[in-house]
Amino acid sequence: MTTPADAPPTLLADQFAPRFDVLQAQHLVVNATAADTYPAIRQLDLTDIRGPLVGSARWVRSLPERWRSRKHGPPRTPTRMTLDDMETASEWVILGEQPGHEIAAGVAGRFWKPVVQWRHVDADKFIEFHEPGYGKIVMSLSVRPYGVRALASYDIRVILNDTMSTATFKAYWKTVSPFVRAIQNATLNTIKANAERR
């Protein structure tokens, strides 16, 4: 069987997380071409993402950190946050990009803790990072042609570095996975709306 010349390349998510402990992927058909949908992914402002569970999820997740830093006032809320801004302002790194098709970002840390303990890992060291007690998240936003439309996808993969972290995270994931799914769906709906306006 031959591969068409215009077939989408292998996902960056598969390169950076070929083995994973958790995968959650959501997809949405967009009434626009893939060429019009990818800029909506690349220019996505994460502060525009809204939804019934999205605000609640963010508020609950920030409670421990807000309690810990209550003497210093509430944390600053950004007015704009693109993927490039996220790389500059946090421990997240852009792992790679296939322009017009996919962008992948990743972060390491103990993200199942009440106050998350992030760990900066450069993109070129990300695959090899296996320090016990930590895990890694790979987030991929991609688009491919779907007839005359496009199929946008949001892929989240979690890799745990040891059995204790795996057991702790899987218990945590049972609680948070519906909220993560809500954020994924709200993100895809925002991309869809932006692409269809183009």
Tell me: pLDDT of 170 over 60: yes
Per-residue model confidence as pLDDT tens digits over 31-40: 999 999 999 9
Of all residues in the chain, the percent with pLDDT exceeding 90 is 68
CA-closest candidate to residue 47, choices 73, 86, 75, 104:
86
* Whether 49 contacts 184, CB under 8 Å: no
Per-residue model confidence as pLDDT tens digits over 93-132: 999 999 999 999 999 999 998 888 999 999 999 999 999 9
**What's residue 64's pLDDT?**
43
Q: Tell me the C-alpha to C-alpha distance, in Å, between residue 31 and each of 41, 183, 187, 189, 193.
A: 14, 21, 16, 12, 9
Q: What is the model's pTM?
A: 0.83
| 166 phi and psi angles, rounded to 5 deg | -60, -45
CA-closest candidate to residue 176, choices 56, 91, 96:
56
DSSP 134-196: -EEEEEEEEEEEETTEEEEEEEEEEEESSHHHHHHHHHHHHHHHHHHHHHHHHHHHHHHHHHH
Domains located in the chain, CATH noted: 19-63+79-197 (3.30.530)
